[in-house]
Amino acid sequence: MPPLRVLVVGASIAGPTAAYWFARAGAKVTVIERFPHLRTNGQNIDIRTVGVTVMRKMPGMEEAVRAKTIPLKCIAAVRSDGRPFGVISTTGNPDQQSLVSEFEIYRGDLSQILYDRTHAHPNITYIFGEQVASIQQHDQADGPVKVEFASGSPTMEFDLVVSCDGATSRTRAIGLGVGMRDYLEPTGTWAAFFSAKQDLLDGNNKMGKAYNAVGGRIIAAGPDPSGVSRVVLMKRYAQKDSSATQPFRDAMNQGGDALRQFVAQTYRGAGWKCDEVIKDMMEAEDFYASEIVHVKVPRLSKGRFVLVGDAGYAASTGTGTSLAMAGAYVLAGEVCKHKGDLAGALQGYEDVMRPLIDDMQKVPPLLPVFFTPQTAWGLWLRNMVFAFVCWSGILSLTQKFFSGAFAGTERYQLPQYEWQE
């Protein structure tokens, strides 16, 4: 039987992870990425629960991640004058993490690690500056998928097309025959990410800082070994429907300068170091911003087209990276398990992932309100409560209440697969 021909769309985390496991299953993998090169910027992300499990199944992967983890030991919540009033620390146990993860790493660094582990594999080919223009599935279920590309690559046929290109995936819309925003569940939140030249952490490269302002605004800064501060500005509106973030999307459609101006207008005068940070944001070369959404599709596949990671099940609970790594592993594992039966493999993928997705997409009650209060009264009350739980030592119990986002690695069990190599 000839090797399975797999097209993976997207080269950030889910894509290279899928390529790794499909190659282990003996498939020939083509990975396309619409950007002209690997994107190595991005915010800090966590590897938790099933993500840790999958990472440890990849020889040498945990060591590579540890070599690039952010030297973050705690996050301090600060007042407008910069004085901390509560601190959340790591647990010291990577198998039972707190809000601060032992495997906290910048998205770009994790993407680079996964790319370095896959791009030289003889069964994996990367093509940058390319994206899908159309997907034509054969009338018969066992026929190949014809894919046309937008930037000059010749039309090709594949046995399976895997969409790993993010929550606002164009490929999902093409493959499922739906609109771009179909299956997006708004959270009424957006976030902007960039590097600030000034030191926001007072020389402490092991402590991050977070500051809240009224109107659901939060600014957080974390250390970077290069000496800059990595910054995230996140805004949550009181209402969750898509109209709340429409002005943000309008600014995004107008281009980078308009988007920066929109973010600056939202945060100007918010307190702490926001005004100084805005100046750095306007000049930051690595600035980007995105709306935060959940993706909830009725089914993860259609024919020989399948979704992995944020394209199929984006979450706002800090579990997206781990879900993406688990999905890539399970999909390739089910294909390896159901040799010659793609329909059975895709059903197996659905059966294994659906309980994980349903649980890890859950937003704990009151969590958004707690982290991003809208009113001055709500902010004062939240700060008092947070200061008390930090001072009293009951924070560990509070974190356990937050369920899936901080659960131990043994909470979810993934299948074991027999790989071809």
Residue 367 to residue 388: CA distance in whole angstroms:
17
Q: What share of the chain is helix, strand, coil (3-state, %, to 5)?
A: 35, 25, 40
DSSP state of 159: S
* CA nearest to 308, candidates 333, 288, 336: 333
* CA nearest to 91, candidates 325, 395, 310, 299: 395
Q: Which CATH fold would you assign to the domain 5-76+103-182+296-360?
A: FAD/NAD(P)-binding domain (3.50.50)
Would you call 78 helix, strand, or coil by DSSP? strand
Q: How far, in Å, are 134, 228, 290 from residue 196 at the CA level?
A: 40, 6, 18
Place of tokens 């002209």: 36
Domain boundaries, the chain: 5-76+103-182+296-360, 184-293
* CA nearest to 320, candidates 346, 296, 294, 297: 294
The enclosing H or E element of 311 equals helix 310-313
165: which 2 tokens? 């290109």
CB-based contacts of 233, cutoff 8 Å, min separation 6: 191, 192, 217, 218, 219, 263, 266, 267, 277, 281
Other CB atoms closer than 10 Å to residue 106's CB: what's the count?
A: 22
For residue 394, what pLDDT is reported?
63
- Taking a C-beta distance cutoff of 8 angstroms, is the pair 117, 20 a contact? yes
Residue 78 to residue 48: CA distance in whole angstroms:
26
For residue 145, what pLDDT is reported?
94
Label residue 386 exposed, middle or buried (CB < 10 Å: 0-12, 13-18, 19+): buried
Label residue 214 exposed, middle or buried (CB < 10 Å: 0-12, 13-18, 19+): middle
For residues 32, 35, 36, 42, the Cα torsion angle rounded to the nearest 10 degrees is -120
**5-76+103-182+296-360 with 184-293: one CATH topology?**
no
CATH number of 184-293: 3.30.9.30
pLDDT, averaged in runs of 10, over the chain (421 residues): 93 96 97 93 81 94 91 82 81 56 83 96 97 87 88 95 95 95 93 88 81 94 80 91 91 94 96 92 92 95 96 87 96 95 96 94 79 91 85 61 48 88 72
How many C-alpha atoms does 150 have within 13 Å on its Cβ side?
16
* CA nearest to 168, candidates 51, 25, 9: 9
